[in-house]
Amino acid sequence: MSATSSSPQLDLLTGLIERVTYHNTENGYCVLRVKAERQKDLVTVVGHASMISAGEFIQASGTWMNDKNYGPQFKANYLNTTAPNTEEGIEKYLASGMIKGIGPVYAKKLVKAFGSQVFEVIETTPHLLRNVEGIGQYRMNTITRAWDDQKIIREIMVFLYQHGISTARAVRIYKIFGADAIRVIKEDPYCLAREIRGIGFKSADQIAQKVGIAKDSPLRIRAGISHVLLETMDEGHCGLPIEVLLTSTAQTLEVPADIVKPVLETELTAGELVGDTLEGEACVFLKGLYLAETLIAKSLKRLFSGKPPWGALDINKAIPWVEERLSIALAESQKEALKLILNSKVSIITGGPGVGKTTLIKSLLKILAAKHLEILLTAPTGRAAKRLSETTGFEAKTIHRLLEYDPEKNNFKKNEEEPLECQLLVVDEVSMLDVPLMHSLLKALPPQAALILVGDIDQLPSVGPGAVLDALIKSEVFTVARLTEIFRQAAQSQIISNAHRINQGLMPLFAQKEDKSDFYFIESKTPEECKDKILELVKNRIPKAFSFDPILEIQVLCPMNRGGVGARSLNIELQKALNPPAQNRVERFGSIYGVGDKVMQIANNYDKDAYNGDIGYIREIHQEEQELKVDYEGRLVSYDFGELDEVVLAYATTIHKAQGSEYPAVVIPLMMQHYPMLKRNLLYTGITRGKQLVILVGQKKALAMAVRDQQAKKRYTKLKEWVRHDAH
């Protein structure tokens, strides 16, 4: 089968595999030496195959490339192998150990006995194998079973390729579904979108059409409903109004809405989805998220009703004691907050930058540590946890580490059966917590423990579903210490004072060119001009004026990924300017990576202990082993080249991805092309990521739009209602 019909630009290579230099059984990556047609010397072929052996005949489509270390290579997009047809090739193939029960000795015996008919004998008349000395019933059965397995794998690979699935992904599919792959895919192609990273709903839907699943099939409509709900979950919702769900599904599938409705009703009756109201509107919720929100409300209410584990405290003595120990003078607002929190078992501390949240937490921890309480500190990201440790002097862990995630079982070891050992849990950056993570955290919290949640309600909500912090504060059920007073030292920072101005709907104040400041606006009329100015700032102007390292200390934060001044486009330009990839580079999934590149993990990978939003630097690239290593704050993590869809370049990131992180210097493009995302909480979050320098580059009109628009996108979440319901 030729692959060139769909890809006429690709070269075709055929030949005999002389040896398999390298084969990774996990991802199928292989390096082959091939005796190719019309080639004098052996050719190196690199590609993916689930099983491969010397002696096999190969058909490959791909491109020629010149590797600086290994010379000319044929990079195969598709590999198809067939059994050899010469006696020499057959013996080599059988001797390779590919067929269980046959090694070099029996390979020679079999070729001598049957010549080029060996494969036919194994396939159709296996009983003849027993005529060969040393082959009894057991070995004969072993050989025929191994031959059948191979045949199945080949069939699967050809089937998947015919349906537009790359060989690398085909290997992944075979790993998950095994010999049943074709049957499973024919029965429910949509399982590919659910189970295989990199295959989306649209690709699975195309395969479904090819294997004969009708457009109005209930299977397709069920998958469409699930797809729309999962997509909305990615937008932060726990559910959707019924009418919105019906319309969106009908549009996605290009079918009438009245076909979708009965399938949705069946799903609701079966309990796969949950129907309920939200603020009086009929909605459909994903079952797992619906249950998680109800259980969060119940857990918090149960905790809140108890007494703090530290018993009665004389606040009037505790405050001067802690002021003396920490050499500080607490403001009246901080003293009031201390009293509130020390009298409550569940409390929330909220406020913007420079209002003394850190001082308040340090004071609380000092007082409660003196009571010999077991205290644990946690935050959603590695950077946030590190910052919490540095500011408090107490060890802080990420939530995943604290709860001891178990990749094999895909859950946390810490739960109701094995709770955390603590009397107080302090959680920072709670605005980033989504519903599933909050639920997991509360499950692991012992009933006698107290809980202090810390976060800035004005920042962006979590990337995942729900709006936990917002719901808990607005429920007005729990103790909330709201800090608003900006302290004198903090007020001297233009970053902090402008962040508060923006929060109040006021335009930020900018320094004059000659004034030394930590906050600047540089006007750019066009996206092209904006891009050029950002490149000049990051590469030359900021390093020269402020001595910041352009890769390690300056972060470009964009309102969105798309567009000429979006994160994707700016990453390519910044990479060219700061770290143009040398010859030892990797091209995968539309990106080029080189040693020294700044990258970000974009999906939680518990096996690697690398999480969505983690930023690291590529330290090593090994072409032969097909792996690279990323340094995450001193910890080296290995990636197969086939796993590089989990990382992206991170010279520029979206503001959403920067939640919970701080950087010495931040550059933010603001253009009218970003208008869908120009919201006050987005701008506020971006600005508060900069510790020592913030520079906005763009149009005053776009800045004014962001400051003016405080209508944060509504999230469909029922947590606030559940908390209030549980409380009354």
Q: In what order do the strands lie in the sheet with 375-379?
A: 396-398, 375-379, 424-427, 450-455, 346-350, 479-482
Q: How far apart are CA 718 and CA 283, in angstroms?
A: 10
Find all residues with CB under 8 Å of 454, minimum gap 6, and list them.
Answer: 348, 349, 350, 357, 361, 426, 427, 428, 429, 430
Query: What pLDDT was estimated at residue 25?
Result: 66
Angle between helical axes of 242-253 and 218-234 (0-180°, round to 10)? 120
Q: How far apart are CA 611 and CA 601, in angstroms?
A: 6
Tokens representing 626? 């097909």
Contact indicator for 197, 643 with CB cutoff of 8 Å: no
DSSP annotation of 659 reads: T
Q: How far apart are CA 126 and CA 143, in angstroms?
A: 9
Q: How far apart are CA 362 and CA 379, in angstroms?
A: 16
Q: What is the pLDDT of residues 473-499, one digit of tens each?
A: 999 999 999 998 888 677 788 999 999
Query: What pLDDT was estimated at residue 274?
Result: 94
Contact indicator for 537, 682 with CB cutoff of 8 Å: no
Tokens representing 395? 């060890």
Tokens representing 432? 């980033």
Phi, psi of 170 (to 5 degrees): -65, -40
This prediction's pTM: 0.76
Contact indicator for 438, 467 with CB cutoff of 8 Å: no
Contact indicator for 141, 165 with CB cutoff of 8 Å: no
Find all residues with CB under 8 Å of 38, minimum gap 6, and list them.
Answer: none
Q: What is the mean pLDDT of residues 147-155?
A: 76
Q: How far apart are CA 222 and CA 226, in angstroms?
A: 6
Q: What is the mean pLDDT of residues 182-200?
A: 83
- For residue 621, the number of C-alpha atoms closer than 13 Å in the C-beta half-sphere is 19
Spell out a b/e string for 391-415, using b for 16 or more CB atoms within 10 Å of the CB, else e.
ebebebbbbbebbebeeeeeebebe
Q: How far apart are CA 596 and CA 577, in angstroms?
A: 13
Q: How far apart are CA 399 and CA 430, in angstroms?
A: 11
Per cent of the chain over pLDDT 90 is 52
Provide the 3-class DSSP secondary structure of residue 649. Answer: strand
Q: How far apart are CA 611 and CA 383, in angstroms?
A: 11
pLDDT at 452 over 60: yes
Tokens representing 422? 């603590």
Q: How far apart are CA 447 and CA 26, in angstroms?
A: 43
Q: What is the mean pLDDT of residues 183-208?
A: 83
End-to-end CA distance of the chain: 69
Query: What pLDDT was estimated at residue 683?
Result: 95
Tell which wins on pLDDT, 446 or 171: 446
For residue 348, the cross-strand partners are: 453, 480
Q: What is the pLDDT of residues 333-351, one digit of tens each?
A: 999 999 999 999 999 999 9
Number of residues written out for the chain: 728
DSSP annotation of 539 reads: I
Q: Model confidence at 98, in pLDDT bands (50, 70, 90)?
A: low
Per cent of the chain over pLDDT 70 is 95
Query: What pLDDT was estimated at residue 5?
Result: 38
Distance of CA 332 to the CA centre of its chain: 43
Q: How far apart are CA 685 and CA 653, in angstroms?
A: 13
Helices (H), 115-187: 118-124, 137-162, 167-177, 181-187
Longest C-alpha distance within the chain, in Å?
98
Contact indicator for 691, 662 with CB cutoff of 8 Å: yes
Q: How far apart are CA 220 and CA 263, in angstroms?
A: 10
DSSP annotation of 541 reads: I
